[in-house]
Structure 1
Protein backbone atom coordinates (compact mmCIF):
# COMPACT_ATOMS: atom_id res chain seq x y z
CA UNK A 1 0.00 0.00 0.00
CA UNK A 2 1.58 3.27 -1.07
CA UNK A 3 0.84 6.89 -0.52
CA UNK A 4 -1.01 8.92 -3.15
CA UNK A 5 1.20 10.92 -5.47
CA UNK A 6 1.35 14.65 -4.84
CA UNK A 7 1.49 16.93 -7.82
CA UNK A 8 4.38 19.38 -7.86
CA UNK A 9 2.80 21.60 -10.50
CA UNK A 10 2.82 25.37 -9.89
CA UNK A 11 -0.98 25.25 -9.45
CA UNK A 12 -0.62 22.66 -6.70
CA UNK A 13 2.03 24.73 -4.89
CA UNK A 14 -0.20 27.79 -5.10
CA UNK A 15 -3.11 25.74 -3.70
CA UNK A 16 -0.95 24.37 -0.85
CA UNK A 17 0.30 27.79 0.22
CA UNK A 18 -2.79 29.81 -0.60
CA UNK A 19 -0.66 32.28 -2.51
CA UNK A 20 1.36 32.59 -5.66
CA UNK A 21 5.09 32.80 -5.02
CA UNK A 22 8.34 32.52 -6.89
CA UNK A 23 9.87 31.21 -3.67
CA UNK A 24 11.66 27.94 -4.35
CA UNK A 25 10.38 25.22 -2.03
CA UNK A 26 13.20 23.45 -0.20
CA UNK A 27 13.60 19.80 -1.03
CA UNK A 28 16.23 18.94 1.56
CA UNK A 29 14.20 19.38 4.74
CA UNK A 30 12.65 16.32 6.35
CA UNK A 31 10.70 15.93 9.58
CA UNK A 32 11.36 12.89 11.76
CA UNK A 33 8.73 12.12 14.33
CA UNK A 34 9.24 9.30 16.78
CA UNK A 35 5.67 9.79 17.83
CA UNK A 36 5.40 7.19 20.52
CA UNK A 37 8.67 7.31 22.39
CA UNK A 38 8.54 6.19 26.02
CA UNK A 39 8.40 9.34 28.22
CA UNK A 40 11.44 8.38 30.29
CA UNK A 41 13.54 7.91 27.12
CA UNK A 42 12.79 11.37 25.66
CA UNK A 43 15.56 13.07 27.65
CA UNK A 44 18.09 10.47 26.45
CA UNK A 45 16.99 11.01 22.86
CA UNK A 46 17.11 14.82 23.18
CA UNK A 47 20.57 14.75 24.79
CA UNK A 48 21.88 12.40 22.11
CA UNK A 49 20.56 14.63 19.34
CA UNK A 50 22.00 17.75 20.95
CA UNK A 51 25.44 16.10 21.19
CA UNK A 52 25.17 15.49 17.43
CA UNK A 53 24.47 19.20 16.90
CA UNK A 54 20.76 18.70 16.20
CA UNK A 55 18.67 21.55 17.62
CA UNK A 56 15.05 22.52 17.35
CA UNK A 57 13.28 19.51 18.84
CA UNK A 58 9.63 19.92 19.85
CA UNK A 59 8.49 17.54 22.59
CA UNK A 60 4.83 16.96 23.52
CA UNK A 61 3.02 14.63 25.89
CA UNK A 62 0.78 12.21 24.04
CA UNK A 63 -1.33 9.12 24.65
CA UNK A 64 -1.82 6.21 22.32
CA UNK A 65 -1.87 2.47 21.89
CA UNK A 66 -0.52 -0.03 19.45
CA UNK A 67 0.52 -3.65 19.88
CA UNK A 68 0.81 -3.18 23.63
CA UNK A 69 -2.86 -2.19 23.89
CA UNK A 70 -3.09 -0.15 27.06
CA UNK A 71 -2.78 -0.46 30.82
CA UNK A 72 -4.33 -3.60 32.30
CA UNK A 73 -4.80 -3.85 36.07
CA UNK A 74 -5.63 -6.85 38.24
CA UNK A 75 -7.93 -6.52 41.21
CA UNK A 76 -9.31 -9.43 43.26
CA UNK A 77 -8.22 -11.88 40.55
CA UNK A 78 -10.02 -10.00 37.76
CA UNK A 79 -8.38 -8.05 34.94
CA UNK A 80 -9.73 -4.71 33.82
CA UNK A 81 -8.49 -1.94 31.61
CA UNK A 82 -7.49 1.08 33.61
CA UNK A 83 -6.76 3.21 30.58
CA UNK A 84 -6.96 2.26 26.93
CA UNK A 85 -4.17 4.71 26.14
CA UNK A 86 -0.53 4.57 27.20
CA UNK A 87 1.49 7.73 28.03
CA UNK A 88 3.95 8.53 25.24
CA UNK A 89 6.18 11.40 24.23
CA UNK A 90 5.95 12.87 20.74
CA UNK A 91 9.11 14.44 19.34
CA UNK A 92 9.21 16.47 16.15
CA UNK A 93 12.55 17.23 14.53
CA UNK A 94 13.19 19.06 11.26
CA UNK A 95 16.53 18.13 9.69
CA UNK A 96 18.23 18.04 6.31
CA UNK A 97 18.19 14.89 4.17
CA UNK A 98 21.90 14.31 4.75
CA UNK A 99 21.25 14.02 8.51
CA UNK A 100 18.37 11.52 8.30
CA UNK A 101 20.23 8.22 8.69
CA UNK A 102 22.48 9.46 11.52
CA UNK A 103 19.48 10.87 13.40
CA UNK A 104 17.51 7.63 12.93
CA UNK A 105 20.46 5.67 14.33
CA UNK A 106 20.73 8.02 17.34
CA UNK A 107 16.99 7.85 18.08
CA UNK A 108 17.07 4.04 17.83
CA UNK A 109 20.13 3.88 20.10
CA UNK A 110 18.61 6.15 22.76
CA UNK A 111 14.93 5.13 22.62
CA UNK A 112 15.19 1.36 22.16
CA UNK A 113 14.51 -0.90 25.14
CA UNK A 114 13.75 -4.00 23.07
CA UNK A 115 10.19 -4.16 24.39
CA UNK A 116 6.86 -3.57 22.66
CA UNK A 117 6.06 0.14 22.88
CA UNK A 118 9.48 1.58 21.99
CA UNK A 119 7.78 3.74 19.35
CA UNK A 120 7.95 4.44 15.67
CA UNK A 121 9.76 6.99 13.52
CA UNK A 122 7.80 8.64 10.74
CA UNK A 123 9.60 10.41 7.88
CA UNK A 124 7.62 13.24 6.36
CA UNK A 125 8.82 15.76 3.76
CA UNK A 126 8.43 19.38 4.80
CA UNK A 127 7.38 21.56 1.87
CA UNK A 128 8.38 24.85 3.48
CA UNK A 129 9.58 26.35 6.74
CA UNK A 130 9.05 29.96 7.83
CA UNK A 131 10.76 31.69 10.77
CA UNK A 132 8.04 33.86 12.28
CA UNK A 133 10.43 36.44 13.75
CA UNK A 134 12.22 37.29 10.48
CA UNK A 135 10.03 35.89 7.72
CA UNK A 136 12.96 33.80 6.43
CA UNK A 137 11.92 30.73 4.48
CA UNK A 138 13.34 27.35 3.59
CA UNK A 139 16.90 26.46 4.51
CA UNK A 140 17.64 29.96 5.85
CA UNK A 141 14.80 29.56 8.37
CA UNK A 142 16.04 26.07 9.28
CA UNK A 143 19.50 27.27 10.36
CA UNK A 144 19.97 28.26 13.99
CA UNK A 145 22.79 30.67 14.73
CA UNK A 146 24.56 30.90 18.07
CA UNK A 147 24.24 28.99 21.30
CA UNK A 148 25.12 25.54 19.99
CA UNK A 149 28.64 25.33 21.44
CA UNK A 150 27.42 26.55 24.83
CA UNK A 151 24.62 23.98 24.88
CA UNK A 152 26.99 21.13 23.96
CA UNK A 153 29.56 22.16 26.57
CA UNK A 154 26.85 22.21 29.27
CA UNK A 155 25.75 18.72 28.25
CA UNK A 156 29.32 17.42 28.34
CA UNK A 157 29.74 18.75 31.90
CA UNK A 158 26.54 17.06 33.11
CA UNK A 159 27.12 13.50 34.33
CA UNK A 160 25.11 11.00 32.30
CA UNK A 161 22.52 8.74 33.87
CA UNK A 162 23.14 4.98 33.69
Structure 2
Protein backbone atom coordinates (compact mmCIF):
# COMPACT_ATOMS: atom_id res chain seq x y z
CA UNK A 1 0.00 0.00 0.00
CA UNK A 2 1.36 3.42 -0.94
CA UNK A 3 1.94 5.97 1.77
CA UNK A 4 1.14 9.61 1.16
CA UNK A 5 3.77 11.84 2.64
CA UNK A 6 6.10 14.60 1.61
CA UNK A 7 9.26 12.48 1.84
CA UNK A 8 11.22 13.28 -1.34
CA UNK A 9 12.44 9.70 -1.62
CA UNK A 10 8.86 8.43 -1.84
CA UNK A 11 8.01 10.69 -4.81
CA UNK A 12 7.66 9.20 -8.32
CA UNK A 13 10.63 9.30 -10.68
CA UNK A 14 10.92 12.61 -12.51
CA UNK A 15 8.92 14.40 -9.83
CA UNK A 16 10.10 17.96 -9.27
CA UNK A 17 8.53 19.45 -6.15
CA UNK A 18 10.60 22.64 -6.39
CA UNK A 19 8.00 24.17 -8.71
CA UNK A 20 5.04 23.51 -6.43
CA UNK A 21 4.52 25.30 -3.16
CA UNK A 22 1.34 23.60 -1.93
CA UNK A 23 -0.67 20.46 -2.38
CA UNK A 24 -2.59 20.23 -5.65
CA UNK A 25 -6.37 20.29 -5.36
CA UNK A 26 -8.94 19.05 -7.86
CA UNK A 27 -12.08 21.12 -8.47
CA UNK A 28 -15.02 19.53 -10.28
CA UNK A 29 -17.70 22.04 -11.24
CA UNK A 30 -21.00 21.24 -12.93
CA UNK A 31 -22.73 24.19 -14.57
CA UNK A 32 -25.23 25.24 -17.20
CA UNK A 33 -23.69 25.14 -20.69
CA UNK A 34 -24.25 28.82 -21.47
CA UNK A 35 -22.15 29.82 -18.42
CA UNK A 36 -19.10 27.69 -19.29
CA UNK A 37 -17.30 30.29 -21.44
CA UNK A 38 -17.65 32.95 -18.74
CA UNK A 39 -16.25 30.57 -16.12
CA UNK A 40 -13.30 29.61 -18.32
CA UNK A 41 -12.55 33.29 -19.00
CA UNK A 42 -12.65 34.02 -15.24
CA UNK A 43 -10.27 31.11 -14.54
CA UNK A 44 -7.66 32.68 -16.83
CA UNK A 45 -6.97 35.09 -13.96
CA UNK A 46 -6.24 32.17 -11.60
CA UNK A 47 -3.12 30.04 -11.86
CA UNK A 48 -4.35 26.56 -12.76
CA UNK A 49 -2.19 23.50 -13.37
CA UNK A 50 -4.46 21.96 -15.99
CA UNK A 51 -7.97 20.81 -16.61
CA UNK A 52 -10.61 19.32 -18.85
CA UNK A 53 -14.11 20.31 -20.00
CA UNK A 54 -16.79 17.68 -20.70
CA UNK A 55 -20.45 17.61 -21.68
CA UNK A 56 -22.59 15.99 -18.98
CA UNK A 57 -26.23 15.35 -18.14
CA UNK A 58 -27.57 16.68 -14.85
CA UNK A 59 -30.20 15.10 -12.64
CA UNK A 60 -31.51 16.89 -9.59
CA UNK A 61 -34.47 18.81 -8.22
CA UNK A 62 -35.59 19.81 -11.73
CA UNK A 63 -36.50 16.18 -12.57
CA UNK A 64 -39.73 14.85 -14.07
CA UNK A 65 -40.79 18.03 -15.87
CA UNK A 66 -42.57 17.60 -19.16
CA UNK A 67 -41.93 20.02 -22.00
CA UNK A 68 -43.39 20.17 -25.48
CA UNK A 69 -41.53 20.24 -28.76
CA UNK A 70 -43.41 20.26 -32.07
CA UNK A 71 -46.57 19.08 -30.33
CA UNK A 72 -44.95 16.11 -28.55
CA UNK A 73 -44.21 15.95 -24.83
CA UNK A 74 -40.78 14.88 -23.65
CA UNK A 75 -39.31 14.31 -20.23
CA UNK A 76 -36.49 16.60 -19.06
CA UNK A 77 -35.22 14.44 -16.19
CA UNK A 78 -31.68 14.80 -17.53
CA UNK A 79 -30.63 18.31 -18.47
CA UNK A 80 -27.46 19.28 -20.37
CA UNK A 81 -24.60 20.46 -18.17
CA UNK A 82 -20.89 21.15 -18.57
CA UNK A 83 -18.40 19.43 -16.26
CA UNK A 84 -15.23 21.41 -15.66
CA UNK A 85 -12.36 19.68 -13.87
CA UNK A 86 -9.34 21.81 -12.97
CA UNK A 87 -6.26 21.29 -10.82
CA UNK A 88 -4.93 24.18 -8.73
CA UNK A 89 -2.40 24.67 -5.98
CA UNK A 90 -3.96 24.82 -2.52
CA UNK A 91 -3.19 28.54 -2.14
CA UNK A 92 -5.16 29.30 -5.33
CA UNK A 93 -8.15 27.19 -4.33
CA UNK A 94 -10.27 29.99 -2.84
CA UNK A 95 -9.72 32.26 -5.85
CA UNK A 96 -10.63 29.47 -8.28
CA UNK A 97 -13.80 28.52 -6.40
CA UNK A 98 -14.82 32.20 -6.17
CA UNK A 99 -14.26 32.68 -9.91
CA UNK A 100 -16.40 29.64 -10.67
CA UNK A 101 -19.26 30.56 -8.33
CA UNK A 102 -19.30 34.22 -9.38
CA UNK A 103 -19.55 33.39 -13.09
CA UNK A 104 -21.59 30.16 -13.05
CA UNK A 105 -24.36 31.27 -10.69
CA UNK A 106 -27.60 32.42 -12.32
CA UNK A 107 -29.76 32.30 -9.19
CA UNK A 108 -32.12 29.71 -10.67
CA UNK A 109 -32.59 26.04 -9.91
CA UNK A 110 -30.02 23.76 -11.55
CA UNK A 111 -27.03 26.11 -11.36
CA UNK A 112 -24.76 23.17 -10.54
CA UNK A 113 -22.37 21.88 -7.91
CA UNK A 114 -18.72 22.30 -6.96
CA UNK A 115 -16.66 19.45 -5.52
CA UNK A 116 -13.16 19.98 -4.11
CA UNK A 117 -10.82 17.00 -3.69
CA UNK A 118 -7.24 16.75 -2.46
CA UNK A 119 -4.74 15.20 -4.88
CA UNK A 120 -1.79 13.26 -3.59
CA UNK A 121 1.64 13.83 -5.13
CA UNK A 122 2.00 10.10 -5.83
CA UNK A 123 -0.86 10.29 -8.30
CA UNK A 124 -0.41 13.73 -9.85
CA UNK A 125 2.62 14.43 -12.00
CA UNK A 126 2.91 16.97 -14.84
Question: Partner residue of 1:158?
Answer: none
TM-score, normalised with respect to structure 1: 0.59
In the alignment, the residues of structure 1 paired with residue 45 and residue 66 of structure 2 have an alpha-carbon distance, to the nearest angstrom, of 37
Equivalent in 38, 59, 64 of residue 65 of structure 1 = 59
Provide the alpha-carbon RMSD of the alignment: 2.9
Cα deviation code 1:86-116 (max 9, x no counterpart): 0000000000111111111110110000001
Shift of 1:53: 3.8
Q: Tell me which of the two structures has the higher relative contact order, counting C-alpha pairs closer than 8 angstroms and 6 or more residues apart.
A: 2
Shift of 1:13: 3.4
Matched, 1:112 2:105: yes
Shift of 1:64: 1.8
Structure with greater strand percent:
2
Question: Partner residue of 1:49?
Answer: 43
Cα deviation code 1:46-89 (max 9, x no counterpart): 000013343623100000211111552148xx9x5434210000
Contact 2:52 2:84 in 1 (8 A): yes
* Secondary structure, counterpart of 1:90 in structure 2: strand
Distance 1:123 1:86, change over 3 A: same
User: Structure 1 stretches (4+) deviating beyond 6 angstroms?
Assistant: 24-27
Contact 2:64 2:76 in 1 (8 A): yes
Matched, 1:102 2:86: no
Contact 2:32 2:110 in 1 (8 A): yes
* Secondary structure, counterpart of 1:13 in structure 2: coil
